[in-house]
């Protein structure tokens, strides 16, 4: 784990939650969501260097929350960009050369230690790894004319974070200009011709986006 890092990206505003509080700061069992997230990675490895990327206008509020909750896990704070791509790029540019770098959503506080461990292990062996889940429901594809067609669900996965890459690969990938097709970090890396490796994630590793997600997370933490 020496010289490995994680970049935790938080850019949510809370608009889809119907609240003025950014979703990474909403309370989950009495503590901001992002603190649970950071703790997961610290529990995975105390030597993992942690970088937190937030909008500049949230820095002061974050410092206040850390004091209020006596949160003292060491981490570097980096200013985010207009897009997630820009925020991740700022995070990458803020760190010195590393072995492996994980990119994780601040609002995924229930990622399991096994998921983190498996992604780092696979990335160490193969250069990168992302966690995925099999699709249980039937799915259909919609064409440009609005017609739908049943497709084999075994050919598709849903994608989670953390997505782990060798530093040199990630650095090179984020030197590309932004494209709308960059939906996650693996799509950015894949665009420079790198094969993406997968590992099974955990079903509880939900992304907290709407109020119902927060309620589910409360139940799962119990």
pTM for this prediction: 0.94
User: What is the Cα–Cα distance from 48 to 101, expressed in whole angstroms?
Assistant: 10
Residue that the structure tokens 């497709």 belong to: 151
CATH fold label, 5-130+158-221: Spore Coat Polysaccharide Biosynthesis Protein SpsA; Chain A (3.90.550)
What is the pairing mode between strands 31-32 and 27-28? antiparallel
Partners of residue 142 on adjacent β-strands? 148
Token pair of 28 as six digits:
């989950």
Residuewise pLDDT in 10s, the chain (222 residues): 579 999 999 975 545 555 678 999 999 999 999 999 999 999 999 999 999 999 999 999 999 999 999 999 999 999 999 999 999 999 999 998 879 999 999 999 999 999 999 999 999 999 999 999 999 999 999 998 889 999 999 999 999 999 999 999 999 999 999 999 999 999 999 999 999 999 999 999 999 999 899 999 999 988
User: What is the Cα–Cα distance from 27 to 21, expressed in whole angstroms?
Assistant: 10
């Amino acid at each position: 784990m020496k010289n490995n890092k994680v970049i935790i990206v938080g850019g949510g505003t809370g608009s889809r939650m119907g609240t003025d509080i950014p979703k990474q700061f909403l309370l989950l069992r009495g503590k901001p969501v992002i603190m649970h997230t950071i703790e997961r990675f610290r529990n995975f490895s105390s030597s993992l260097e942690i970088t937190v990327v937030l909008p500049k206008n949230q820095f002061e509020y974050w410092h206040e929350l850390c004091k209020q909750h006596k949160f003292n896990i060491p981490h570097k704070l980096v200013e985010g960009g207009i897009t997630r791509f820009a925020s991740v790029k700022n995070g990458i540019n803020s760190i010195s050369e590393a072995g492996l770098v994980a990119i994780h959503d601040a609002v995924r506080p229930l990622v399991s230690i096994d998921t983190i461990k498996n992604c780092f292990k696979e990335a160490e062996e193969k250069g990168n790894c992302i966690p995925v889940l099999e699709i249980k429901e039937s799915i259909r594809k919609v064409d440009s004319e609005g017609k739908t067609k049943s497709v084999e669900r075994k050919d598709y996965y849903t994608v989670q974070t953390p997505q782990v890459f060798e530093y040199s690969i990630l650095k090179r990938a984020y030197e590309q200009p932004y494209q709308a097709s960059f939906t996650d970090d693996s799509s950015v890396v894949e665009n420079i011709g790198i094969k993406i490796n997968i590992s099974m994630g955990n079903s509880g590793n939900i992304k907290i986006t709407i109020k119902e997600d927060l309620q589910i997370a409360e139940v799962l933490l119990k």
